Structure formats: structure tokens, C-alpha cells
Chain A
């Protein structure tokens, strides 16, 4: 899949005759585009539904919306929703395969898969790999999916972030959690920053962007604590100078651009597995 994407032969037909719908209840640029391109590269018919432009705005329930799409012979419905468990809910009512493109604070499995693909390429495997995930862990579906998958693959996962943005009892998932992010980054082979929603500040979860960056931002100085060949990842979009300094984002350890490429490839693979002939 990656070869197809990189070599420019972006027209497979393994999903020709299949219809793939993206049903997005939250704003998204890259994830939606990534899925849409993945569908098209594989020859599927792709259509988008943005929640505000549909009957959802008229008060239709999620289940009814999903049933309606299903009745139009969709093969795959890709859903993003602000409520945790929304994909799980509609999967009980549809014949189409459901792909979770991010549900609330719960999971974002294809993001985790593209992260794993990137780590595999750069680090060659997961046994003994130390992955530090730093930032707003509490509200992060990316963090949760990464934790579940990385633990399964045999990596060591450490989390870092302010106490107000660390979920309750997170260590019961088999990870270490630090509020001193230097300790989280120390010796890490992979340092992953998480996006900070700036509106969290208004809710009092951290006092200011300035203080956040000072204590929890990943800069070149802090990166020296990581393994010498550590890579830096971020699910995007990045708040430059907040969770990562500009120098780190654009630095030679950053693999953020490749993550995006791998995102398309991984989603092609997922769609092919679910709907391919």
C-alpha cells in the first residue's frame, strides 16, 4: 500500500464497486481526508457526511442516521463522534462495517495503527521499546489507543502531563504516569506529544499556555533526556510552541510528516481488510 502511495500509482481497484461513507460529527481535516483518499486510491466510491449538513442538525438520532446510510448499501461507514462508544452503538444496527475514526475520549484506532507503522519502520520492533506519551492524556483517544496497542505489542509505555490532565487510575492499564515530564521522556525511544485543546485552559485545567509550555512542552533541551536516536511524533494538528517547540517540530528527529503518509496507507489496509475482495 505504501509503495502504491509513494510511487504514484494511486489507483488500485480492489475496492471498486464498494461504497465507503465518512460520517463525521466533529471537525477534522486530516483524518477525514486521509480516509477519503484511502478509499479513492483503492477504487471505492467515497462520500462524506458532515453532521451539520445532514438530518442530524434536525434532531435525528445517531442510530437512525446510521440505519439510513446502511439502507443505501454502504459497505463501510467511517464515523467520528464526540461521544465515546458511538461506533460501538451503531455497529449493532448496521450491516456495513463500522470504522472508528475517533470517539470522544475513548479510542482512535487507525491513528494508533499509523503510529505503530511509523515506529516499526523507524525502530524495527516493539520489544523493549520505550514510548513516552506526553500532554493531555485525560482527553486523548490517541493516548488510549496507543496504550492498548503498544502494551499488546510488548512496548513499555510511560505517560507524562499535568495532574489535571491525567485520567484517574491510568496506571491500572499497565503504564507509568509522571507529572514531571522529564522523568517520562528520560531514555525514551519514542516521544509522542499530544495536542492541547486550548479551551481546556478556560476550564481551569492549566493556568496558561506559557506555563504549560514551560513545564510540559517538549523542547530541544528536554529531548536530550531521551535516547540519542529517539524520534518525535505528534498526531496533529500541532499547536506550535505549546506542546512542541517549533525547533522540535521541524527538527530532524520529527517524523510527523511520515505519520501523515502512513495514515493513508494504514487506512487503505484497514478498508481493504474490511471490504476488499
Chain B
């Protein structure tokens, strides 16, 4: 099967391309890029006025399978990814049971392949049962295909276990995707501590719950030489700790999520549980710091922390509602609207954060439109705004704070390995 994408504005930061070109795809790989390409056998996709970029790579999603299929499963998660232009996802292992052995790693990846709508990769756990006790069999996880290890959803409680994990995982070239959080400082809080938590009478989570834990983990990474990827960074001081450790040469990368550069804790007003996640939405100062860190490279990647929940788990008292929001079907739109349209990042920089850098963090040969590379591609519209409607989501989770928002960056077509996996009606 051959596919010819005509007249799209190609953004391919890895190869320094930022201009209107055609793209010819055959046998699942990119055959050539250039002007006025023609191919009689190819299906032609007109991408005039649209952006054509390498498919997005989301380092942080929860597909909930096995165990919580009522929230999401690998099929609905994959459909949501395809609709959001995301061609590779990394699942977090806090399923039921947790993914702390090779068999479960293979199960998740096999399900992803069977469904075939996005590349489904997964992390394995840092600790057995995510209990912060003993290390899981990291060698076996790697051999089974896990791309990293994480106890996401829970922090590694013991500093010495984190140190050992950083030492041990290095042997297998496995990055640690760290959910860095000091639960003692969280102390039962349910939103950012500040004016809004005072106003709503909700227990606050201090910013130090993140920055203290991130500081610990970057120092351990520096000391051990281990590879640390800090997940969902939301605070100015955590960013500062990462920035300084990077300057000193530690092998650290970091991600933030779209909500941390587009929303503040004011979104919790009215006890809006769709604005409740962990880490919590912060204030203007932190939002500015996240944007600055994206621009200066301190934060390498944007990942969604796509966390679908059942309606009944969100339609509760605020402090009882579960943490997390879905993100796969809005991440590109939020990125384009809040970073590119505002002039904070170029489109090319945004694609670096959402595709090129995630690929390099994982060490996979993606995030590029180079000749001979897998044809994972997103085509989207940056010119015309659209309105987000959660009821149109493919994800089972409708828990999004962006319902009704007007965004730019609507995905028109998603191509996975040369095959169209999503096409807007």
C-alpha cells in the first residue's frame, strides 16, 4: 500500500524540515519527501493548509488494562490515542495486578499490537507490587520489552530503594520514570495549597511535596549516574532542581503535562473534580515556570498522564474523587493553543516536546519523517479553532477540564506504520 500526502506543511525537527512538501509512503515506511511528488499507484491525501508531523509519542498514559477495564482498556485507549494524533504510548504499570513481571509486559504489548491503532509500549514497576519494598525483576522486564520502570501513582518511599533502583536499572539501560512525591508533606491534601484551597476549604498540597521529592531523586540520579526521567513536573522549585542537576551533568530528563501550562488551581472553583489530579494544578507563577522550562529545554517532553476514570469516581465530594484527567484527545490542541498560538514555542519546538524528545528518551527510532523511517504521522489543522466536547471522546473517560474549550490544532489524520488509523469525518 502506498500513500502520497500532498502539499502539507511538513514539520520534521529531527531533519530540520519546516516547509511545504509532499510525502510518499510505501510498505509502512517513508519513501521520500520532496516537491511535486507523483505516484500513480498511491492513495492521495490532500494536506493543503495542514501541518504534517511525526506522530506524537506520549510517555505517560494509563490504559487501565488489566484490572480496571471499566475505566479504559487498551482498545479504547488506543482509539483515543489515534484520534489525538498519538502513534506511540507508554502505559504506566499501576494496573490490577500491577505490571511487575515479564508476562504482563508481554500481555499489554501484544494487546496493543492486536488492536493496531497505536504503538503500545509499557513500563514495568520499580518495586514488586509497587510496594516500595524490593526491586522488581528489572532485567526480566527489559527482556520482555518494557521501555522503562515506574511506580507511577505512588512514589518510591525509601530513598535507599530509589538509589538501588537507579544503580541496578543502569545495567539494563532502563530509565526510571519517577513519580516524585513526598506523601508526608501531602498529608491528605486534595488540591494545591494556596489561596484557592483556603477559599474552597480544601486541604492543600504544598508545592514542597513535589520539589522536596524531585530534589531527592535528582541528587540520587547525580550520585549514581542513573537515568532519571521526572514525570509530570508542575512546580517552579522542582524545575529549578532539575535545571541545576542537568547543568551539573546528571542524566535527567523531565516531562510536564498540558494541564500544567494551561490551567491553574482556579479551575477547581465550584469543587470541579475534573480539575483534580496529582500533582495538583498550581498557580500562575508555576505555570509561567513550566512554560519557561519548556522553552529553555529544562523540560524535555510533554506527556498527558492520561488518567481515565469512571463517572461515578469523579461525581463525588471533591476530597473523595479520584485523581486524574484524560488527555490523549486534547494534548495537541492544548499545546498548539497555549504554547504556539501564544508565541511561547514554535510549532517545531512543540513537535520536539511531543515526539522527537520522547523518542530519544525511550531510545526508539521514531519521532522523525526521515526516509526509511516508520511512517507514523499526524496531520492537523492549526488555522481553524474547534470546540472540545468530551462526549465525542473515544476514551471511556470523559473526565476532562477542557470540555467546551475552544482549541486550535485539530487532528485530521493519523497514520501508523503507513496505515490510516484515524481520519476525521
Contact = CB atoms under 8 A, between A and B. Distances in A.
A83 B195 contact: no
Contacts of A62: 316-317
B251 to A, nearest CB: 35
B194 to A, nearest CB: 5
A104 interface: yes
B201 interface: yes
Given A83-B319, A85-B317, A104-B319, A173 B199 contact: yes
Contacts, number: 61
Contacts of B201: 84-85, 103-107, 141, 144
Contacts of B197: 167-168
Contacts of B319: 83-84, 104
Given A85-B271, A88-B271, A105-B203, A169 B198 contact: yes
B309 to A, nearest CB: 14
B198 A61 contact: no
Contact of A89 (B198, B199, B203, B316): B316
A168 B200 contact: no
A166 B193 CA distance: 12
A63 B315 contact: yes
Contacts of B312: 61
Interface string A154-185: 00000000000001111011000000000000
A81 interface: yes
Nearest to B272: A85
A173 B201 CA distance: 13
Contact of A169 (B194, B202, B320): B194
A85 B194 CA distance: 17
Contacts of A107: 201
A86 interface: yes
Interface in A33-65: 61-63
B204 interface: yes
Interface residues of A, number: 23
B343 interface: no
**Chain A binding site: helix, strand, loop or mixed by DSSP?**
mixed
B318 interface: yes
A83 B198 contact: no
Contacts of A63: 315-316
A167 B198 contact: yes
A237 to B, nearest CB: 21
Nearest to A104: B201
Interface string A96-124: 00000001111100000000000000000
Nearest to B268: A85
B202 A104 contact: yes
B320 to A, nearest CB: 6
Contacts of A85: 200-202, 271, 317-318
Most buried by B among A63, A84, A86: A84
B270 interface: yes
Interface string B173-203: 0000000000000000000011101111111
B270 A88 contact: yes
Nearest to A84: B201
B271 A89 contact: yes
Nearest to B206: A168
Given A62-B317, A81-B317, A89-B316, A168 B204 contact: yes
A84 B202 contact: yes
Contact of A84 (B193, B195, B315, B318): B318
A108 to B, nearest CB: 10
Interface string B316-330: 111110000000000
A168 B192 CA distance: 10
Contacts of B315: 63, 89
Contacts of A86: 317
Contacts of A81: 317
A71 to B, nearest CB: 18
Nearest to B193: A168
A168 B317 CA distance: 22
A135 to B, nearest CB: 16
A61 B316 contact: yes
A104 B193 CA distance: 16
Most buried by A among B194, B270, B319: B319
A141 B316 CA distance: 20
A168 B202 contact: no
Given A61-B312, A105-B201, A83 B194 contact: no
Contact of A83 (B193, B199, B270, B317): B317
Nearest to A63: B315
Contact of A168 (B195, B270, B271): B195
A169 B271 contact: no
Given A88-B271, A168-B193, A168-B195, A106 B316 contact: no
B198 A173 contact: yes
Nearest to A171: B195
B195 to A, nearest CB: 4
A89 B200 CA distance: 13
A144 B202 CA distance: 12
A168 B316 contact: no
A170 B198 contact: yes
Interface string B201-238: 11110000000000000000000000000000000000
A107 B316 CA distance: 18
Nearest to A85: B271
Contact of B195 (A88, A106, A141, A169): A169
Interface in A57-98: 61-63, 81, 83-86, 88-89
A144 B195 CA distance: 12
Nearest to B199: A173
Contacts of A83: 317-320
16 contacts: A62-B317, A81-B317, A85-B200, A85-B317, A85-B318, A86-B317, A89-B317, A105-B203, A106-B200, A167-B197, A167-B198, A168-B194, A168-B198, A169-B198, A170-B198, A173-B199
The 9 closest A-B pairs by CB, nearest first: A106-B201, A83-B317, A85-B271, A105-B201, A169-B195, A167-B198, A84-B201, A172-B195, A85-B318
Interface of B: 193-195, 197-204, 270-271, 312, 315-320
Given A84-B317, A107-B201, 7 more contacts: A63-B315, A85-B317, A85-B318, A88-B270, A89-B271, A167-B204, A170-B198
